[in-house]
């Protein structure tokens, strides 16, 4: 079959197509309906079916591949390397499930996971869905305030954490950040489980906090069967940024997600049972959920869980892992490759990469020079893929699993994947743009295919209003990305239409960063914009109006306050959200109606023309901004 036939079938005969795909997973009870779309934009995939994500990722592989490594943990931070076979993973998951169960975790309860990249984190995710509970993994790089708001939204029964993570050899204590978040949160978390790695002191609060290793020793023989849940039962929520300051809990189902991932492993990533998948992301992001944890395990593959940097001990570390573990599929982000690009390409060539079929890159635009450089350096096809936390798996990519000769096109993430009815639309009218090479908003007609978000956790209204209400009378899903399609149907992504920025593949809301900056008592007003950066794709820059101009009257004052504001952001959101620069101005450029001219600020920072500014309130504001940037 070729790509066109595959894609057409998914659109023209969705029932038959998805019924076939659904056979890729085990169902405890068969579904009655492929898709219940009677209440759009909500879609219930495989309605009436009962299944379990952990069963499909772990239990069902145990008879066939008990001794095959399910998970290989490699830490260049602690020098550890550990492997868990499917048989061992099955045992470990039941132990952790027993611990959660003893704390009262039942179907539908939430377990928040705030962990570094260690096997216990993956086990905690699997144990949670085993019980029919819902996990919410919060990226370890987030700090107390960000964590507190997610705790309040998810209202977890248990928080799973570790004493510390480590990055570039520097220990980052997690437990004190969590303790502070628990103080800030309204929701009282009944239980905290701490995996003590011996990296940092983590005093336990009696009655609330528990030592994981002690608990584990008490449940060595635990047998905890999977809880069969309805296909549409939520498996997890994952918070992501949008236009407003408050992060949204993207809610994922169980059956649809399992089917979509299982399909994607085969059709997109060309990953087969028994092979090894190496995804360099973090479990705190959607790429980690789908392609460190669930995708590879659903496919009966070995997944590599890597804790460390791409350049430590040297720039060849990933490639030595590929060689040693005979990795067949690799998945990373353009930023990481741009970091490697600064190193000697020969160090990549030192390793035997013959096992590797493809390198997949996602999370941010893949620029042509980077794609070309890495393609030549490793001599493998580089496959871009475009998707979002919301969709859970690629919207655009190539289907090399069915069409091995489908050619990548530099600068394009590819073509629509099965089930995605992608349309570019006029940003004002919402009318579809049918011609080639027209720039429009990338939208998807409902129902979204299996695996995509069901709703926003606890807020159906927000789901409808945020994603489905951009164009009156055109209830289509908005990705908030600009796109363009060429004559051959290949899409190109041109950046976000909203105030979301993408720093090193990490999605951040500028409003969220502005809120954090504003919490510094010296700040009267702030604007944060994303500015093009050679390595990270984009970085955040903050423009601040201070309450007392005396504080920023000289270089020393400005430097001191800049550092203080950065520390404030570190403390609230985490270093991932820290602006690369904080500039001080007397006034921010706004329209006469008071709207911040973000695009103009961004243009000034990037040295571009600011475009039409007839509505600007005070033209001197831009002049001043220019001076601040030059300084
Ligand atoms: P996240 O939800 O963190 O995965 O971020 C999703 C956003 O990242 C998308 O809406 C795009 O703006 C951007 N993005 C992800 N993958 C790509 C890609 N392959 N090419 C261009 N932009 C991408």
Distance 19 CA to ligand 1 centre (A): 29
Counting residues of the chain whose pLDDT is more than 90, the rounded percentage is: 89
Buried b (16+ CB within 10 A) or exposed e, 430-460: beebeeeeeebbbbbbbbbbbbbbbbbbebe
Pairing verdict, β 236-240 and 134-137? parallel
> What is the dihedral angle through the alpha carbons of 374, 376, 378, 382, rounded to the nearest 10 degrees?
60
> Which residue ranges of the chain lie beneath pLDDT 50?
none
Name every protein residue with a CB atom under 6 angstroms from any ligand 1 atom: 240, 286, 362-366, 384-386, 388-389, 413, 479, 481, 493, 496, 502, 507
Cα gap 231→132, rounded to integer Å = 11
Biggest CA–CA distance in the chain, Å, is 72
Distance 481 CA to ligand 1 centre (A): 8
Cα gap 600→481, rounded to integer Å = 19
Q: Which of 283, 331, 363, 410 to mutate to test the pocket of ligand 1 (most atoms within 8 A of CB)?
A: 363
Q: Which of 477, 493, 532 to mutate to test the pocket of ligand 1 (most atoms within 8 A of CB)?
A: 493
Pairing verdict, β 421-425 and 81-85? unpaired
Distance 361 CA to ligand 1 centre (A): 11
Cα gap 613→501, rounded to integer Å = 23
568, 520 Cβ separation under 8 angstroms: yes
199-256: pLDDT as tens digits: 999 999 999 999 999 999 999 999 999 999 999 999 999 999 877 768 899 999 999 9
Measured from the Cα of 285, ligand 1's closest atom is 3
Distance 364 CA to ligand 1 centre (A): 5
- Nearest-CA residue for ligand 1 atom 5 is 388
- Nearest-CA residue for ligand 1 atom 14 is 364
In DSSP terms, which residues pair with 383 in a beta bridge? Answer: 360
For 470-625, strand residue ranges (E) read: 477-485, 491-496, 500-503, 506-509, 523-533, 537-546, 581-584
Q: Which of 285, 331, 364 to mutate to test the pocket of ligand 1 (most atoms within 8 A of CB)?
A: 364
Q: Which of 333, 481, 530 to mutate to test the pocket of ligand 1 (most atoms within 8 A of CB)?
A: 481
173-202: pLDDT as tens digits: 999 999 999 999 999 999 999 999 999 999
State the pLDDT at residue 245: 66
């Amino acid at each position: 079959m070729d790509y066109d036939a595959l894609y057409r079938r998914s659109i023209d005969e969705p029932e038959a197509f998805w019924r076939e795909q659904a056979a890729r997973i085990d169902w405890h009870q068969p579904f009655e309906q492929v898709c219940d779309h009677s209440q759009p934009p909500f879609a219930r995939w495989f309605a009436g079916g009962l299944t379990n994500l952990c069963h499909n990722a772990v239990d069902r592989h145990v008879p066939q591949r008990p001794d095959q490594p399910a998970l290989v943990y490699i830490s260049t931070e602690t020098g550890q390397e550990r492997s868990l076979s499917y048989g061992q993973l099955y045992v470990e998951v039941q132990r952790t499930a027993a611990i959660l169960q003893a704390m009262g975790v039942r179907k539908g309860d939430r377990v928040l996971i705030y962990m570094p990249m260690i096997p216990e984190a993956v086990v905690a995710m699997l144990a949670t869905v085993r019980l029919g509970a819902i996990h919410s993994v919060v990226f370890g790089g987030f700090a107390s305030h960000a964590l507190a708001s997610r705790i309040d939204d998810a209202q977890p029964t248990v928080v799973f954490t570790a004493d510390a993570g480590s990055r570039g050899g520097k220990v980052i204590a997690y437990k004190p950040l969590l303790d502070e978040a628990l103080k800030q949160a309204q929701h009282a978390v009944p239980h905290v489980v701490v995996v003590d790695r011996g990296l940092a002191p983590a005093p336990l609060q009696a009655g609330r906090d528990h030592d994981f290793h002690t608990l584990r020793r008490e449940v060595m023989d635990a047998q905890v069967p999977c809880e069969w849940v309805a296909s549409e039962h939520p498996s997890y929520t994952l918070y992501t940024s949008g236009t407003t300051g408050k992060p949204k809990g993207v809610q994922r189902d169980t059956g649809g997600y399992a089917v979509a991932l299982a399909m994607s492993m085969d059709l997109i990533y060309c990953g087969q049972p028994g092979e090894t998948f190496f995804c360099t992301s973090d479990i705190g992001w959607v790429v980690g959920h789908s392609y460190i944890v669930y995708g590879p395990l659903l496919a009966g593959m070995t997944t590599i869980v890597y804790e460390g940097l791409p350049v430590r001990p040297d720039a060849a570390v990933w490639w030595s892992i590929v060689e040693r573990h005979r990795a067949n599929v690799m998945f990373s982000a353009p930023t990481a490759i741009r970091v490697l690009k600064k190193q000697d390409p020969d160090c990549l060539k030192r390793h035997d990469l013959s096992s590797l079929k493809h390198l997949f890159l996602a999370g941010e635009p893949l620029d042509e020079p980077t794609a070309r450089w890495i393609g030549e350096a490793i001599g493998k096809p580089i496959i871009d893929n475009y998707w979002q936390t919301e969709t859970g798996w690629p919207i655009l990519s190539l289907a090399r699993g069915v069409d091995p000769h489908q050619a990548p096109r530099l600068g394009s993430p590819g073509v629509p994947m099965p089930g995605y009815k992608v349309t570019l639309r006029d940003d004002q009218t919402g009318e579809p743009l049918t011609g080639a090479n027209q720039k429009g908003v990338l939208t998807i007609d409902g129902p979204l295919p299996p695996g995509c978000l069901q709703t926003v956790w606890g807020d159906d209204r927000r789901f409808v209003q945020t994603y489905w209400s951009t164009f009156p009378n055109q209830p289509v899903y908005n990705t908030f990305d600009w796109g363009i399609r060429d004559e051959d149907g290949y899409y190109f992504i041109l950046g976000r239409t909203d105030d979301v920025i993408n720093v090193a593949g990490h999605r951040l809301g500028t409003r969220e960063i502005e809120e954090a900056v504003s919490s510094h008592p010296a700040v009267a007003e702030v604007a944060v914009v994303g500015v093009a950066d050679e390595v990270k794709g984009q970085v955040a820059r903050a423009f601040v109006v201070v309450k007392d101009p005396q504080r920023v009257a000289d270089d020393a004052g400005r430097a001191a306050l800049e550092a203080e504001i950065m520390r404030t952001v570190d403390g609230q959101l985490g270093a991932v959200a820290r602006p690369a620069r904080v500039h001080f101005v007397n006034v921010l450029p706004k329209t006469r109606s008071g709207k911040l001219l973000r695009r103009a600020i961004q243009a000034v920072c990037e040295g571009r023309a600011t475009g039409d500014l007839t509505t600007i309130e005070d033209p001197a504001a831009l002049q001043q901004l220019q001076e601040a940037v030059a300084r």
